[in-house]
Amino acid sequence: MKYCQGPQCHTYDTKDRKRGTKGNKVNQTRRRSNMYYGKGNFCSMQCYNDWAEEFSDRAIDYFGRITQPIVLTEDNAWRKRYRWGYGDEGDRHIIYNMLTSEERPLTEAQYNDSNYTLNT
């Protein structure tokens, strides 16, 4: 079990966050074995966004702010695609270059092989 990392999680009004008896009631951060947002760190998209709102700038400065564009070159712009066809042009697997628009046919085995790529 772990706690949601949302800094405002305890402020949302739901039954499962409430603890304590009359005169002693509190709302507390959700605790769960599985959470589905932000790599399992947040109980909801709202909590994920709250974290981003409060900590994004500091986290980015800490891990390295992007100050120049990251570039995709022709060498690593190949993406697998599946083309639906009809008639003589049946369905086919291709690998497509996002920058040059070049297409090359793939076998189904190559398409399904997650290690197969033309990216260099």
Residues that bind Zn ion (CB under 5 A): 4, 6, 9, 30, 43, 47
Looking at the Cβ atoms of 42 and 78, the one nearer to Zn ion is: 42
Looking at the Cβ atoms of 43 and 106, the one nearer to Zn ion is: 43
- Alpha-carbon gap, residue 80 to 106, rounded angstroms: 9
- Alpha-carbon gap, residue 98 to 37, rounded angstroms: 30
Looking at the Cβ atoms of 30 and 78, the one nearer to Zn ion is: 30
Q: How far is the CB of 56 from Zn ion (least distance, A)?
A: 17
Residue 41 contacts residue 16 (beta carbons within 8 Å): no
What 3-state class would DSSP assign to 118?
coil
Q: How far is the CB of 83 from Zn ion (least distance, A)?
A: 42
